[in-house]
């Protein structure tokens, strides 16, 4: 039985709410404890995960420092420190914005794009336990995750 709760959307019965809490905790444990690849990716690329996150956000194409800060959920001064480090490493560079020559965009160099691609490959490789599930379970999980991301 479902009731609309003013702050939280549909209210579920107690059993459904407990099952949802178990599933949520399980996802947390799987993603942030058992299969947290942030340290491995940081070590493979030789940089902090905040820099890896910036590389991944820049991989789609040049963006302004302000937009990068928004995508990272970081303040602009900290984002500037990250970008300065990526530039020093030869992974990114600032270019003139073709639509506003007074501003700059940040984009990845070829080496930066290679590192971003490596990070994406490492972070999107499913763990063996997931790959070992029957196809129908994997497809069901895929459907559920897609609904949650909508």
**pLDDT on residue 98:** 87
Query: What does the alpha-carbon distance between residue 15 and residue 106 come to, in Å, rounded to a whole number?
Result: 49
Domain extent listing, the chain: 36-124
Confidence band of 36 (pLDDT split at 50, 70, 90): confident
% of the chain at pLDDT higher than 90: 77
Mean pLDDT for 90-116 is 93
- Tell me the torsion sign for CA atoms 64, 66, 67, 71: positive
Domain 36-124 has CATH 3.30.70.100: no
Secondary structure (DSSP) of 68-104: HHHHHT--HHHHHHHHHHHHHTTSEEEEEETTEEEEE
Two tokens, residue 150: 């909508």
Q: What average pLDDT does the structure give for the chain?
A: 90
pLDDT of 107 over the 90 cut? yes
Residue located via tokens 């500037």:
80
**pLDDT on residue 39:** 92
Cβ burial, residue 87 (10 Å; 0-12/13-18/19+): middle
Q: Give the 3-state secondary structure of residue 54.
A: helix
């Amino acid at each position: 039985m479902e009731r609309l709760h003013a702050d939280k959307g549909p209210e579920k019965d107690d059993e459904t709410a407990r099952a949802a809490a178990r599933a949520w905790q399980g996802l947390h444990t799987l993603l942030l404890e058992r299969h947290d690849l942030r340290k491995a990716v940081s070590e493979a690329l030789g940089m902090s995960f905040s820099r890896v996150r910036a590389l991944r956000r820049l991989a789609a194409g040049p963006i302004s420092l302000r937009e990068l800060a928004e995508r990272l959920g970081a303040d602009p001064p900290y984002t500037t420190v990250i970008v300065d480090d990526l530039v020093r490493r030869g992974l990114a560079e600032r270019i003139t914005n073709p639509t506003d020559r007074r501003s700059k965009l940040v984009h990845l160099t070829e080496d930066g794009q290679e590192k971003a691609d490596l990070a994406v490959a490492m972070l999107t490789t499913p763990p063996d336990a997931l790959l070992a599930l029957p196809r129908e379970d994997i497809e069901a999980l895929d459907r559920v995750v897609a609904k949650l991301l909508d």
